Amino acid sequence: MERSGYQYGRILIVDDEESNVRLLERFLEQAGYRHIASTTDPQKTLTLFIEFQPDLILLDLHMPYLDGFEVMNQLRQIIPREIYLPILVLTADISPAVRQQALAGGANDFLTKPLDAIEVLLRIKNLLQTRFLHLQLQEQNHLLEEKVYERTQELEEARVEILKRLALAAEYRDDTTGQHTQRVGRTAALLASLLGLPQPEVSNIRRAAPLHDVGKIGIPDYLLLKPGKLTPEEFEMMKTHTIIGAKILGGGQVPLLKMAEEIALTHHERWDGLGYPRGLAGEAIPLVGRIVAVADVFDALIHVRPYKPAIPRDNAIREISLMSGLQFDPKVVQAFLTLAHSSEFSTAAEVQTDQVTNVEYWPQTLPLPGHAQQDGELLTTREHEVLQYIAEGFTSGEIARTLGISVGTAEDYIQHIFHKLNVFDRSQIVIRALELKLIRLTP
C-alpha cells in the first residue's frame, strides 16, 4: 500500500449538528489527519461517499430527513460484502436496543456523546488500522490470484505444447511435413462446430484430434513406411496402433486426454460395424471418433502417403459422400459436405502463410462470401488482430505471447476464423483474407 500510516486514512463525518462536525474535524486535524470530508445533510452521504471514497465513516444516528440507520442501509447497497469499510456510530442513546440495531445495520463501533477526544482518536485509529490490514490482505490475495492464473496459463500452454510434440513425434514417422495431424485437428473442429457441439468441446477436439495416430509410435518402420498394400498379417499389426495410442493416452483424469484416448481408439471404427479394433457400429462409436474418421480419411486421400498417391479434392469429397452410412456417420458427412471445399482448397493461388511477410489489414467487418452481413458471421476486432498475425506467419504461441493470452485461447480464435471463413488451414486463410481484402500484400 502507498499509505504508510493511519493518518493517511480518508474520513467522512456525517452529523446534522454543525458543532459536532467542527469538534471532530478539530480532533482529527490536531492528530495529523489530512483527508477529511464532512456534511450536516445526511441526504448527501451517498454522493459524498462515491466522490470521496472514505476509509472510515463517522455517522450520527439521530438526524432529520434521513437517520443513521437509513444511511447505513443505503451504503450497504453499494459496498461489496467482501469490502471492509468501518462505520463508527456517534450517539447519545446507549440503550442495548439501539446498539443492537446499529450493529445489525453495519456499524462497527460506537462513540457516546458528549465526545471525548482521546476515546475518539483511539477508536478511529483502531478502525483505520483494521481497514488498512484488510486492504493489504486484499492486495496480497489479488497478487496471489494473478500468480495462480499466470501459472495455470503456463501449465495449460505447456500441456497443449506437449500434446503437439507428441502428435508430431508420431506423425513424422510417415509424414515428414508433420502437417497431417494439425489439418485433421482443424477439420475435426470445424465439423464439431457445424454439428452444434459446445465451444469447449470444439476446442478440445481441435487439440485432441491431432493425437489420433499417436499409437503409430509402436508400429515398426518397415510396416509404416512400406510402399503399396500391406499383407493381411501386416494389416493386423497395423491395426494395433489404435490400441497402442489409447494405452499411451489412457489412465488420466484430464478431459482433453480422455477425449484424445477415445479418438485414438475409435477413429477407425465404421458406421456399419466393419471397422476396428472393436467392431463398433452406429452411435455406439463415440461422436468424436466418428468426426475424426471423416477428417482423417479426407486428409489422407488428398495428400501423398507412403502407400498411395494423392487424389484430386473433388474425387476425395465424392469418396466421402459415397461412404456415408457405410464407413461414416451420415450426419458427419452431411456437415462435411456443407463446407465449400472446391473454392477454399483451390491450389491455383500459391500464397503460403510463411511467404506473407508484409501485410496490411483493415479491421472493418465484411460479410462472408454468399452471405448477408449479419451479427455472428463477422470477424471481431480481436479476430482481425489474430488474422494479421497468421498472415505474418506467427505461430499460435507467438500470437498468444503478443496478445497476452494463452495458447489455447489463441487457437480458439484461429479456429473461429477457420469456421467463419470456411477454410481448413493457414494458407487457405491467407488466400480467403486476400480475396475479401481483409489483408493485402505490400511491397
- Residue in 192, 181, 22 with CA at minimum distance from that of residue 115: 22
- Looking at residue 350, its pLDDT comes to 29
On the question of pLDDT at 50 being above 70, the answer is yes
Report the C-alpha gap between 67 and 71 in whole angstroms: 6
Q: How confident is the model at residue 174 (pLDDT cuts 50, 70, 90)?
A: low
Other Cβ atoms closer than 10 A to 224: 17
Report the pLDDT value the prediction gives residue 427, as an integer from 0 to 100.
61
Interval 162-167 mean pLDDT: 77
Tell me the CATH number at 51: 3.40.50.2300
The rounded percent of the chain whose pLDDT value lies above 90 is 38
Q: Tell me what the mean pLDDT of segment 433-440 comes to.
A: 73
Range of the structural domain that residue 21 is part of: 6-143
187 shares a domain with 330: yes
Same domain, 19 and 62: yes
Q: Is residue 118 part of a domain?
A: yes
Taking the whole predicted model, whether its pTM rises above 0.85 is answered as: no
Cα distance between residue 260 and residue 1, in whole Å? 47
Judgement on whether residues 405 and 418 belong to the same structural domain of the protein: yes
Residues 334 and 351 placed together within one structural domain of the fold: no
Instruction: Give the pLDDT of residue 23.
Output: 94
Per-residue pLDDT at 63 exceeds 80: yes
Helix (H, G, I), strand (E, B) or coil at 61: coil
- Listed residue (422, 421, 417) closest to 390, CA to CA: 417
Q: Please tell me whether residues 303 and 187 are part of one structural domain.
A: yes
pLDDT higher than threshold 90 for residue 407: no
What is the Cα–Cα distance from 141 to 138, expressed in whole angstroms? 5
Cell numbers standing for residue 222: 518397415
Helices (H) and strands (E) in the chain, counts: 19, 7
The span from the CA of 129 to the CA of 146, in Å, is: 26
* Domain assignment of residue 23, yes or no: yes
Block residue for cell numbers 486463410? 429
Same domain assignment for residues 254 and 381: no
**Are 99 and 197 part of one and the same domain?**
no
Residue 169 forms part of a structural domain:
no
Q: Are residues 252 and 369 in the same domain?
A: no
Task: Give the CA radius of gyration of the chain.
Answer: 34
Say if residue 303 is in the same domain as residue 350.
no
Distances in Å between the Cα of 424 and the Cα atoms of 210, 340, 417, 427 are: 14, 10, 10, 9
Domain count, the chain: 3
Whether residues 300 and 191 share a domain: the answer is yes
Same domain, 203 and 334: yes
User: Is residue 154 one of the residues assigned to a domain?
Assistant: no
Contact 20, 115 (CB under 8 A): yes
What's residue 11's pLDDT? 95
C-alpha cell of 126? 483502531
Q: Is residue 164 situated within a structural domain? A: no
d(CA 416, CA 399) in angstroms, rounded, equals 15
CA dist., res. 214 & res. 244, Å (int): 8
pLDDT digits (tens, 9 = 90+) for 268-323: 999 999 999 999 999 999 999 999 999 999 988 888 776 678 888 888 888 999 99
373 CB-side CA count, 13 A: 5
**pLDDT value at residue 38:** 94
